[in-house]
């Protein structure tokens, strides 16, 4: 578009909107900073700031909540979910992007439903089934449960990327003697690297942040960071508030690192849903 | 796969849902021929090409290469080359790798691949661009890569799907000559799809004119140009004047029709009878301005360089398109004659 | 002796399938289909049938009778809707003017959208922890209000309805905003310019051109925001009043499953939850289907 880079003009409505945005950000900053400040504070009761600063809570949290183990579990679960959901989702995305066949709408709807339903709704029956077959309470159950929204998400993310690859390019490769395997490995895979990266990163961010499904299926040894955080919060009073805050900060830091990495490959809107943003010419 | 003597399409059909995109195409292609499939968009010519390539499964019929049936083979096993309308170059591979792709798929020795690729790059004069990506090339250069990529394998048949439609007018003329030259020098067999009648006439040995999934006419360029088999073909071959008239006299295939109150002689192209409603077809360049004949009023004049395209309204409101080198102006009264034998009369 | 050579019979069979778009590449769909059947459809149906087999006996519908017969349980539906619907509505309605204002390109847009993504990725658990600190009786917000003498006593914003509501706004608003923004970017700006040349004022252009084109996107945004808000669970426990005003239905389902170990009853509650959600989704979708949903002229 020929629109030039512009600054927002200051009309009365503009001021109101800016005020709302600023108000939102100030409160958001307040929420995040209060956790951060508290995690470094010695004692903080009914004052503007803690009476002193210390880093001891981080050590406490690391030991008390066995954070090393929790982080290892989190990374392991996320990595497995990413790899499996891409392996299962990408071929399906290919078929849905390229072909019309009887029952396609039904298949598509079935793939969409896990994203449209609140995780708790299918999470409870799913956890019941997983317990029945002995998966729940272990890492495998957590991975399986997290795959349910991740595979559809990979399908949704990959489909537009595949649609962007001209099917005639595949035809051309076949006319030159490439079999199905060669078409996928030599032509499609290199062209879809951005899409694969985007969907992998998005699934990673979502899995690390996924609370409900992990919460319902995790045993004591298979908690991810966000679930461990929830347990430490809901058991408030037993632990020092500040060490819970320290743990929250560790979680935040981890998410922010992931986010910075993610935003190198995808635009912010993609983190939310499958909508293409205007291309940055 | 080595060459063939004859490729035979036998009732080749393709249906999409309830719509027949291609209904029973019969065609025999001889080795070394240049055949053009010609027709308006949606006529089934691209469907025919994709069926031949194996990119689209047939819904009926068979394709025989000499005495081997090939319509059940996947495209990669047929050994045909194809040039696509939008070129379909691999965007992540350089010019050289694009051209070498097919050779590599055949697991040829490295030296062979390098030698033949280099030759093909030289043939299409892209040596200095060999390590560029397709995105860095102009449309004409991309076109040449696509042609080199399809022909470097010396395929038994080259399929071209409107390869010139994305080029500007000047380049299109150049590439036309280029493709015809390559066809002859490499001894290729070519099936060429186009909607541009001029392109088809100038390049092909034989034309297949199609409409609504069916073959309308099959013949040499001259046959199709001078004797279209139906008024639809005539319409497509540049007979801009298609006039619904009545036959007033009939003598063998010599007929007389009434045009703007003046009897005009034409030749019947099919079974017509006295008093029948017919469609008379005539090209603008076959109508001449003269001193007497059909009377009319010049309404629009378009200057087109050497010639003028003139629209004349006859007394009975019939409009005629005329091409002339003479100077005329809008509002003039003129008289028109038709070149003898160039008014073709079809049953409507 | 057969009159038809065998050679032709096999291709005809393939032809007929090919015509309908069925070929070998459909196998690629198999892993995902098996997966969704095993891990989503089967558990769902299992849960559904389990919900009709009450653990403590009784009729087929005993679990549902129990749920709807007990006001403490039944009210969770209303409680959930009372939190989720206003929160989703506020998020979408607030997002429209702001996104409208901030569409197009300007300096710092990338930064703005990046900051907005932060609360989404942080999730409800961390937001809850922050809200407890920030909005608590001795938190910064109450301190500011007290020192500015706007209030005389700290206002209670946590461990009640408002705590949950704020938590949903903090995670839901950025989500809604980014979606609306991308839908807006998909509308060709020349349409509005065309309307301007035809004499439409700024307000008329918004009402007659932009809003109708944006409406289906708003419906989708509302749906996705609503689904997020409807499954509110951690924040209802942590910043809400889980025994009273914010006892949401997901909490009831969780307690049945993990505190009473009555999976049959828990499944029934989950089914009620799914049904209520799908009713809202269906209403919005029916409304959406009556809107113009074709091309918006943009590149979206």
Position B1 scores a pLDDT of 43
Residue that finishes a domain, picked among B201, B232, B263: B232
In angstroms, the CA B85 to CA A166 distance is 12
Tell me how far apart the alpha carbons of residues B134 and B93 are, in angstroms, rounded to a whole number. 8
How far is the CA of B138 from the CAs of A86, B85, B128, B162, in angstroms?
A: 37, 15, 14, 18
| Same domain membership, residue B339 and residue B276 | yes
Under the banding of pLDDT at 50, 70 and 90, the label for residue A2 is very low
What is the C-alpha to C-alpha distance for residues B243 and B238, in angstroms, rounded to an integer?
Answer: 14
Sheet strands (E) in chain B: 6-16, 19-30, 34-38, 60-65, 68-69, 81-83, 158-161, 190-194, 206-211, 214-219, 241-251, 254-259, 262-268, 277-282, 287-290, 294-304, 307-314, 319-324, 333-338, 344-347
Q: Do A171 and B88 touch (CB under 8 A)?
A: yes
The pLDDT assigned to C9 comes to: 43
CB contact under 8 A, A171 and B75: yes
Q: DSSP string spanning B48-96?
A: HHHHHHTSS--SEEEEEETTEE-TTS-HHHH--EEE-TT----TTS-HH
Local structure of B305: helix, strand or coil: coil
B99 and B132 belong to one structural domain = yes
* Torsional class of A8: left (φ above 0), alpha (ψ -120 to 50), beta (otherwise): beta
Whether pLDDT at C104 is above 80: no
Q: Are residues B202 and B295 in the same domain?
A: no
Which H/E stretch holds residue B323?
strand B319-324
Among the partner-chain residues B59, B62, B72, the one whose CB lies closest to the CB of C19 is B59
Together in a domain, B113 and B33: yes
Task: Say what the pLDDT of residue A275 is.
Answer: 41
Mean pLDDT, chain B, integer: 90
Residue after which a domain boundary falls, among B217, B232, B247: B232
Enumerate the residues of chain B whose CB falls inside 8 A of the CB of residue A169: 88-91
Is position B54 within any domain? Answer: yes
Span C7-31, mean pLDDT? 67
Per-residue model confidence (pLDDT) at position A66: 82
Q: Which residues of B touch C24 (CB under 8 A)?
A: none
SS3 A77: helix
**So what's the pLDDT on residue B179?**
92
B88 within some domain: yes
Band (pLDDT 50/70/90 cuts) for residue B83 is very high
| Residue B279 belongs to some domain of the structure | yes
- Do B55 and A182 make contact, defined as CB atoms within 8 angstroms? no
Q: Cα–Cα distance between C242 and C70 in angstroms, integer? A: 17
Q: Which of A28, A23, A32, A56 is nearest to A253 (CA)?
A: A32
pLDDT at B77 over 50: yes
Phi, psi (deg, nearest 5) at residue B315: -60, -35
Query: pLDDT tens for residues B187-229?
Result: 899 999 999 999 999 999 999 999 999 999 999 999 999 999 9
pLDDT for residue B207: 94
What average pLDDT does range A189-201 have in this prediction?
87
Cα separation, B107 vs B206, in Å, equals 36
- Starting at the earlier edge strand, list the strands of the sheet with B319-324: B287-290, B333-338, B294-304, B307-314, B319-324
Domain tally for chain B?
2
Q: What is the pLDDT of residue A9?
A: 54
Contacting residues of A for B149, CB less than 8 Å apart: 172, 176
Query: B5: burial class by Cβ within 10 Å (0-12, 13-18, 19+)?
Result: exposed
Q: What is the extent of the structural domain holding B46?
A: 6-232
Residues of B in contact with A168 (CB under 8 A): 84-86, 88
**pLDDT score of A8 more than 80:** no
* The pLDDT value given to residue B291: 84
Q: Which residues of A touch C130 (CB under 8 A)?
A: 30-32, 34-35, 248
Residue C248 has pLDDT above 50, yes or no: yes
Q: Range with the lowest mean pLDDT among A32-46, B21-35, B54-68, C66-80?
A: A32-46
Do B48 and B37 meet the contact criterion of CB atoms below 8 Å apart? yes
Digit-coded pLDDT (tens) for A74-109: 999 999 999 999 999 999 999 988 888 888 888 888
- Please state, in angstroms and rounded to a whole number, the distance separating the CA atoms of residues A198 and A193: 8
Tell me: pLDDT of A267 over 80: no
Judging contacts by C-beta atoms under 8 Å, the chain C residues touching residue B15 are: 19
Neighbours of chain A (3+ CB pairs under 8 A): B, C
Q: Count of CB atoms within 10 A of residue A29's CB?
A: 14
Per-residue pLDDT at A1: 39
Contact A5 C41 (CB under 8 A): no
pTM here is: 0.80
Statement to judge: residues B283 and B200 lie in one domain: no
Q: Are residues B249 and B200 in the same domain?
A: no
* C58 to chain A, closest Cα gap in Å: 21
Find residue B130's DSSP bridge partners.
none
Is B71 close to C18, i.e. CB distance below 8 A? no
In order of start, what are the domains of chain C with their CATH numbers? 39-289 (1.10.3720.10)
Q: What is the mean pLDDT of chain C?
A: 81
- Span C34-61, average pLDDT: 87
Interface contact B72, partner C, CB < 8 A: yes
Helix axes C211-230, C263-289, angle to 10 degrees: 180
A149 in contact with chain C, both atoms CB, cutoff 8 A? no
pLDDT at C3: 39
Interface test with B, best of A174, A175, A178 (most B CBs within 10 A): A175
Q: What is the DSSP string of A137-205?
A: TSHHHHHHHHHHHHHHHHHHHHHHHHHHS-HHHHHHHHHTT--HHHIIIIIIHHHTHHHHHHHHHHHHH
Q: Which phi and psi (to 5°) does residue B100 adopt?
A: -80, -10
* Domain end point (choices B232, B254, B281): B232
Per-residue pLDDT for B248 more than 60? yes
Banded model confidence at residue A3, pLDDT cuts 50, 70, 90: very low
Range 141-180 of A in CB contact (< 8 A) with B:
166, 168-169, 171-179
In this structure, what token pair is assigned to residue C197?
Answer: 């040349």
Neighbours of C269 (CB within 10 A): 30
Helix (H, G, I), strand (E, B) or coil at C239: coil
Res. A54: pLDDT tops 60: yes
Q: Higher confidence at residue C223 or residue C122? A: C223
Chain A positions touching B86 (Cβ under 8 A) are 166, 168
Instruction: Specify the pLDDT at position C11.
Output: 53
Q: What is the pLDDT of residue B348?
A: 81
Neighbours of A200 (CB within 10 A): 20
Pairwise CA distance, residues C28 & C34, whole Å = 11
Q: How far is B133 from chain C (nearest CA, A)?
A: 26
Q: Which residues contact A44 (CB under 8 A, 6 or more apart)?
A: A37, A38, A50, A51, A242
Nearest of B254, B211, B212, B264 to residue B234 by alpha carbon: B211
B149 touches chain A (CB under 8 A): yes
Q: Is the pLDDT of residue C144 over 90?
A: no
What is the enclosing helix (H) or strand (E) of C135?
Answer: helix C109-135
Residue labelled with tokens 């149906």:
C45
Judging contacts by C-beta atoms under 8 Å, the chain C residues touching residue B59 are 15-16, 18-19
pLDDT of residue C57 exceeding 80? no
Task: Report d(CA B325, CA B342) in Å as an integer.
Answer: 19
Give the angle subtended at the CA of A131 by the CAs of A128 and A132, to the nearest 5°: 85
Q: How confident is the model at residue B2 (pLDDT cuts 50, 70, 90)?
A: low
Domain ranges of chain A: 12-54, 58-272
Beta-carbon neighbour count of residue B77 at 10 Å? 14
Lateral strand order in the sheet of B34-38: B81-83, B158-161, B190-194, B34-38, B206-211, B214-219
pLDDT, greater one: A268 or C135: C135
Residue C61 burial class via C-beta count within 10 angstroms: exposed 0-12, middle 13-18, buried 19 and up: middle
Q: Shortest Cα distance from B84 to chain A (angstroms)?
A: 8
Q: Which two tokens stand for residue C128?
A: 């809850």
The whole-angstrom distance between A182's CA and the closest CA on chain B is: 8
Phi then psi dihedrals of residue B194, to 5 deg: -155, 160
For residue C53, the model assigns a pLDDT of 87
Query: Where residue B47 sits, what CATH number does that domain have?
Result: 3.40.50.300
pLDDT at A74: 92
Write down the pLDDT at residue B318.
87
Helix (H, G, I), strand (E, B) or coil at B243: strand
Task: Name the DSSP letter for residue B129.
Answer: G
Look at residue A61 and tell me whether its pLDDT is greater than 90.
no
pLDDT(A69) > 80: yes
Select the more confidently predicted residue: C288 or C105.
Answer: C288
| Residue A119's pLDDT band (cuts 50, 70, 90) | confident
Rounded average pLDDT over C263-286: 89
Tell whether C26 is within 8 A of chain B (Cβ). no
Q: How far is C48 from chain B (nearest CA, A)?
A: 38
Tell me, yes or no, whether B317 and B177 share the same domain.
no
* Fold (topology level) of A58-272: MetI-like fold (1.10.3720)
Which whole number is the average pLDDT over C117-143? 79
Which residues of chain A from 185 to 204 reach within 8 Å of chain C, CB to CB? none
Report if residue B1 sits inside a domain: no
Radius of gyration of chain A (CA): 23
Which single residue is written with the structure tokens 């993504």? C117
- Whether C105 sits inside 8 A of A6 (CB atoms) is yes
Euclidean distance between CA atoms B273 and B249, whole angstroms: 9
Q: Please indicate, yes or no, whether residues B213 and B294 belong to a single structural domain of this protein.
A: no
Query: Residue C11 has which token pair?
Result: 């291709």
First to last CA, chain C: 62
- Whether residue B92 is found in the same domain as residue B206: yes
Closest CA to B183 of B49, B32, B2: B32
pLDDT higher than 90, residue A208: no
Model confidence at B163: pLDDT above 60:
yes
Whether residues B101 and A191 touch (CB distance < 8 A) is answered with no
Chain segment A230-260, per-residue pLDDT in tens: 888 877 666 677 888 888 888 888 888 887 8
Residues B274 and B318 in one domain: yes
The phi, psi pair for B314, rounded to 5°, reads: -80, 175
Give the pLDDT band of residue B118 (cuts 50, 70, 90).
very high
Q: In degrees rounded to 5, what are phi and psi of residue B265?
A: -95, 140
Residue of chain A whose alpha carbon sits nearest to that of C275: A121
Half-sphere exposure of A102 (CA within 13 A, CB side): 8
- b (16+ CB within 10 A) / e for A64-89: bbebeebbebbeebbebbbebbbebb
């Amino acid at each position: 578009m020929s629109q030039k880079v512009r600054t927002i003009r200051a009309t009365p409505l503009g001021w109101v909107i800016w005020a709302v945005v600023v108000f939102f950000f100030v409160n958001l900053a307040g929420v995040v900073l209060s956790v951060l400040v508290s995690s470094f504070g010695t004692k903080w009761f009914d004052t503007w700031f803690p009476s002193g600063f210390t880093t001891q809570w981080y050590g406490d949290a690391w030991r008390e909540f066995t954070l090393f183990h929790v982080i290892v579990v989190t990374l392991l679960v996320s990595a497995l979910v990413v790899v499996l959901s891409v392996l299962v989702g990408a071929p399906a995305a290919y078929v849905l992007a390229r072909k019309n066949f009887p029952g396609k709408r039904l298949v598509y709807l079935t793939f969409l439903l896990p994203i449209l339903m609140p995780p708790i709704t299918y999470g409870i029956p799913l956890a019941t089934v997983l317990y029945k077959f002995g998966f729940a309470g272990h890492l495998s159950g957590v991975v399986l449960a997290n795959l349910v929204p991740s595979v559809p998400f990979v399908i949704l993310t990959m489909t537009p990327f595949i649609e962007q690859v001209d099917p005639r390019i595949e035809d051309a490769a076949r006319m030159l003697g490439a079999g199905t395997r060669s078409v996928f490995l030599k032509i499609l895979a290199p062209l879809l690297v951005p899409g694969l990266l985007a969907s992998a990163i998005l699934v990673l961010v979502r899995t690390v942040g996924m609370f409900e499904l992990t919460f319902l299926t995790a045993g004591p040894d298979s908690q991810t960071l966000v679930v461990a955080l929830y347990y430490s919060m809901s058991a408030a009073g037993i632990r020092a508030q500040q060490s819970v805050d320290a743990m929250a900060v560790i979680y935040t830091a981890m998410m922010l690192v992931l986010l910075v990495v993610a935003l190198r490959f995808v635009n912010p809107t993609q983190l939310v849903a499958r909508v293409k943003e205007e291309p940055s010419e | 796969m080595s060459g063939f003597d004859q490729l035979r399409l036998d009732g080749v059909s393709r249906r999409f849902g309830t719509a027949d995109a291609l209904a029973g195409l019969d065609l025999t292609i001889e080795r070394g021929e240049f055949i053009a499939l010609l027709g308006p968009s949606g006529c089934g010519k691209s469907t025919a090409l994709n069926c031949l390539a194996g990119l689209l499964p047939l819904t009926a019929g068979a394709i025989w290469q000499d005495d081997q049936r090939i319509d059940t083979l996947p495209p990669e096993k047929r050994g045909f080359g194809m040039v696509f309308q939008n070129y379909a170059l691999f965007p992540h591979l350089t010019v050289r790798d694009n051209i070498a792709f097919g050779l590599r798929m055949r697991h040829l020795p490295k030296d062979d691949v390098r030698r033949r690729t280099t030759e093909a790059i030289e043939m299409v004069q892209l040596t200095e661009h060999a390590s560029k990506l397709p995105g860095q090339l102009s449309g004409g250069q991309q076109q040449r890569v696509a042609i080199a990529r399809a022909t470097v394998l010396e395929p038994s048949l080259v399929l071209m799907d409107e390869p010139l439609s994305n080029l500007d007018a000047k380049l299109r003329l150049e590439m036309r000559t280029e493709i015809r030259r390559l066809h002859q020098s490499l001894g290729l067999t070519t099936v060429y799809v186009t909607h541009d009648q001029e392109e088809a006439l100038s390049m092909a040995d034989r034309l297949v004119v199609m409409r609504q999934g069916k073959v309308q006419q099959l013949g040499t360029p001259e046959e199709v140009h001078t004797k279209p088999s139906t008024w639809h073909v005539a319409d497509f071959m540049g007979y801009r004047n298609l006039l619904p008239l009545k036959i007033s006299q009939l003598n063998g295939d010599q007929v007389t029709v009434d045009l703007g109150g003046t009897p005009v002689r034409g030749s019947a192209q099919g079974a017509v009878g006295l008093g029948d409603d017919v469609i008379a077809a005539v090209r603008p360049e076959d109508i001449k301005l003269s001193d007497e004949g059909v009377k009319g009023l010049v309404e629009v004049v378009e200057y087109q360089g050497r010639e003028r395209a003139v629209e004349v309204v006859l007394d009975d409101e019939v409009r005629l398109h005329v091409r002339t080198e003479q100077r005329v102006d809008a509002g003039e009264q003129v008289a028109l004659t038709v070149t003898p034998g160039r008014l073709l009369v079809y049953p409507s | 002796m057969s009159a038809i050579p065998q050679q032709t019979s096999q291709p005809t069979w393939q032809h007929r399938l090919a015509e309908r778009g069925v070929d070998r590449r459909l196998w690629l769909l198999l892993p995902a289909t098996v997966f969704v059947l095993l891990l989503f459809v089967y558990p769902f149906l299992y849960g559904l049938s389990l919900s009709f087999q009450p653990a403590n006996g009784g009729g087929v519908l005993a679990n549902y009778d129990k749920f709807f017969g007990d006001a403490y349980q039944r009210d969770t539906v209303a409680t959930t809707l009372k939190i989720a619907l206003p929160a989703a509505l506020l998020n979408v309605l607030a997002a429209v003017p702001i996104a409208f204002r901030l569409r197009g390109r300007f300096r710092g847009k990338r930064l703005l959208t990046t900051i907005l993504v932060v609360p989404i990725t942080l999730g409800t658990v961390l937001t809850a922890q922050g809200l407890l600190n920030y909005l608590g009786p001795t938190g910064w917000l109450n301190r500011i209000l007290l020192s500015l003498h706007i209030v005389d006593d700290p206002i209670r914003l946590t461990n009640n309805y408002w705590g949950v509501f704020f938590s949903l706004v903090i995670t839901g608003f950025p989500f809604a905003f980014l979606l609306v923004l991308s839908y807006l970017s998909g509308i060709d700006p020349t349409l509005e310019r065309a309307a301007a040349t035809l004499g439409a004022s700024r307000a008329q252009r918004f009402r007659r051109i932009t809003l109708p084109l944006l409406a289906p996107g708003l419906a989708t945004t509302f749906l996705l925001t609503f689904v997020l808000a409807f499954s509110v669970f951690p924040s209802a426990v942590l910043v809400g009043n889980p025994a009273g005003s914010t006892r949401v239905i997901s909490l009831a389902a969780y307690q049945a499953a993990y505190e009473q170990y009555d999976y049959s009853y828990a499944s029934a509650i989950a089914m009620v939850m799914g049904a209520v959600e799908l009713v809202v989704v269906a209403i919005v979708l029916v409304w959406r289907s009556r809107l113009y949903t074709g091309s918006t002229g943009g590149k979206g």
